[in-house]
Amino acid sequence: MALLFRRHGWPLSLAMLLIVAFWIVIQVVLPQLLMIDFSFRPNLLPSELGGPKDGYTLGNYRTLWANDVHFAIFVKTIVASAVVTLLTFAVCYPIAFHLAYELKGPKAARLMLVLVIPFWINEILRTFAWYIVLAYAGPLNALLVWLGILDEPMRFLDGNGGVMIGMVYAYLLFMVFPLYNAIESLDPAQVEAARDLGASWGRIHRRVVIPHAKPGIATGCIMVFMLAAGSYAVPALLGSPNSRWFTEIIYNWFFEGGNWNQGAAYAFILLLLCVGFIFAMMRVFRVSLGELTR
């Protein structure tokens, strides 16, 4: 704080702090407090507000445990989001290592640009493009049938497969950049020393690269998991009635059922889950909150 005031002076520093405080309070704190208040109140008619029925209750939270369908979708969303996180890490780790260790200068910049350019397009449009690619009569099925890999087209959009593919692609950069930043700071001499001592590439990654990149791995996993668990557009476009996401249930409570109190309770449960996942990743990778935010 003192460094901020010395660098920019009192007037500018105070203005910056006020803007940040206003943003946090208005955009983050107050909406969350309002959502929490909604979640503990019953859904009442306007005439019943302030009456004897208008009190705090846990009924909205009990609904999730009492409704077997909603609870099953909730558990499936957690598991599927974890699988999406693992798949995204498996895809992004080789890319990040290649960018940070094997490529230098203009080559790395060009490849990074190739990764970033598709994300200049709106997420819904990119997701709908995957809908076209994965459709029963889409180009992917046509190619697989033409190559003889499939005897007949496959329905990619009937289960969770299309949702998984769409999410891995949608959140690719949120895993690549933290991994790249962490691996780039690794001293190449450590890798060369391990190679000179006869370590295999698998052992080098397991004993040298991955331990060094733990903050980047934790950050990438947290970002991808939270985005996947809270995604609505991807499962809505690429999913089917058999692959509903928990966010779709929340949307239905708010905008189709008109029960904002129940929707707020479900949303708060999802928020608690994401916060718990953050602390779990910090414990698993043994990193502090400061290391995650670097």
Q: What is the mean pLDDT of residues 228-246?
A: 86
What is the pLDDT at residue 221?
Answer: 93
What is the pLDDT at residue 5?
Answer: 60
Three-state SS string across the chain, please?
CHHHHHHHCHHHHHHHHHHHHHHHHHHHHHHHHHHHHHHCCCCCCHHHCCCCCCCCCCHHHHHHHHCHHHHHHHHHHHHHHHHHHHHHHHHHHHHHHHHHHHCCCHHHHHHHHHHHHHHHCCHHHHHHHHHHHHCCCCHHHHHHHHCCCCCCCCCHHHCCHHHHHHHHHHCHHHHHHHHHHHHHCCCHHHHHHHHHCCCCHHHHHHHHHHHHCHHHHHHHHHHHHHHHHCCCHHHHHHCCHHHCCHHHHHHHHHHHCCCHHHHHHHHHHHHHHHHHHHHHHHHHHCCCHHHHCC
Question: Percent of the chain, pLDDT > 90?
Answer: 24
CB hemisphere CA count around 154 (13 angstroms):
16
Answer whether 264's CB lies under 8 Å from 36's CB.
yes
- Tens of pLDDT, residues 135-188: 888 888 888 888 888 888 888 877 788 888 889 998 999 999 999 988 888 888
Structural domains of the chain ordered from first start: 70-292 (1.10.3720.10)
What is the pLDDT at residue 71?
Answer: 93
Q: What is the mean pLDDT of residues 50-73?
A: 86
To the nearest whole number, what is the mean pLDDT of the chain? 85
What is the pLDDT at residue 77?
Answer: 92
Residue 68 has pLDDT above 80, yes or no: yes
Q: What is the mean pLDDT of residues 85-92?
A: 94
- pTM listed for this prediction: 0.86
Q: How confident is the model at residue 81 (pLDDT cuts 50, 70, 90)?
A: very high
What is the pLDDT at residue 250?
Answer: 92
Q: How confident is the model at residue 294 (pLDDT cuts 50, 70, 90)?
A: low
Q: Could you tell me how many residues make up the chain?
A: 294
CA 18 to chain centre: 29
Residue 38 has pLDDT above 80, yes or no: yes
Residue 102 has pLDDT above 70, yes or no: yes
